[in-house]
């Protein structure tokens, strides 16, 4: 019986790297995977990139309106595993469609994504929230803050300053310096007081 997995972690914990490793392991055994991600306006386009080098083309990307179950049932029903990158950007409906993939098509689905948005409130990302409610298995990918504690927060820095409000997706206009860092709660409060 196939299952729906949500493997979440803060920014920079190597989620995409782990996804690529799983894809590699399947391929090495002569099995096939389908690698997908939600389409956002970021620069990477249809590729999965990692900070340390390896990359891979997606099999397809999809908009918020697309029914992923239908797409997989039509074109990918023979694959051995579905791997989803940037799963926090799924809609709640699309998470339900991925659950249908595990139940009706009996294909395991492994989603990688962030649990919380940089504002750390309002339920985080719709896709992550629904995955936390629905997934058969929820697993944390751990990463470390600069101070050595476990990092659980994704923080946005604009021109070097911690920001705690703004749009979910910030387009790089080339003029401002936008960075994300994984922080522990301790460092978050310290930086927030100083900002």
Residue 82: phi and psi, rounded to 5, are -105, 130
- State which residue, 36 or 145, has the beta carbon closest to Zn ion: 145
Cβ distance 10 to 153 under 8 Å? Answer: yes
For the chain, counts of helices (H) and of strands (E): 5, 11
| Count of residues interacting with Zn ion (CB under 5 A) | 5
Distance CA 40, CA 88 (A): 11
Tell me how far, at minimum, the Cβ of 166 lies from Zn ion, in Å. Answer: 22
- State which residue, 110 or 184, has the beta carbon closest to Zn ion: 184
Q: Please report where in the chains the tokens 């339900």 appear, as a residue.
A: 96
- State which residue, 103 or 147, has the beta carbon closest to Zn ion: 147
Distance CA 80, CA 32 (A): 5
Spell out, one character per residue from 162 to 191, where the chain touches Zn ion: x when CB under 5 A holds, - when not.
----------------------x--x----
Distance CA 79, CA 99 (A): 16
Contact segment (CB under 5 A) with Zn ion among 12-20, 22-30, 123-131, 140-148 equals 140-148
Catalytic residue list contains 86: yes
Tell me how far, at minimum, the Cβ of 193 lies from Zn ion, in Å. Answer: 14
Residue in 86, 100, 126, 140 annotated catalytic: 86
Residues that bind Zn ion (CB under 5 A): 145, 147, 149, 184, 187
């Amino acid at each position: 019986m196939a299952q729906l997995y949500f493997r979440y972690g803060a920014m920079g914990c190597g989620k995409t790297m782990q996804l690529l490793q799983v894809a590699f392991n399947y391929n090495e055994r002569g099995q096939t995977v389908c690698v997908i991600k939600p389409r956002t306006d970021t620069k990477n386009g249809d590729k999965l990139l990692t900070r340390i080098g390896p990359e891979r083309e997606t099999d397809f990307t999809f908009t918020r309106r697309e029914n992923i179950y239908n797409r997989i049932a039509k074109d990918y029903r023979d694959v051995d595993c579905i791997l989803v990158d940037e799963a926090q950007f799924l809609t709640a409906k699309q998470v339900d469609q991925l659950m249908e993939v595990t139940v009706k098509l009996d294909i395991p689905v492994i989603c990688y994504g962030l649990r919380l948005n940089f504002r750390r409130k309002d339920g985080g990302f719709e896709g992550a929230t629904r995955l936390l409610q629905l997934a058969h298995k929820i697993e944390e990918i751990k990463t470390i803050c600069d101070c050595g504690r476990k990092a659980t927060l994704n923080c946005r820095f604009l021109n070097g300053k911690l920001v705690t409000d703004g749009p979910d997706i910030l387009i790089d206009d080339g003029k401002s310096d936008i960075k994300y860092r994984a922080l522990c709660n301790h460092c978050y409060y310290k930086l927030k007081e100083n900002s």
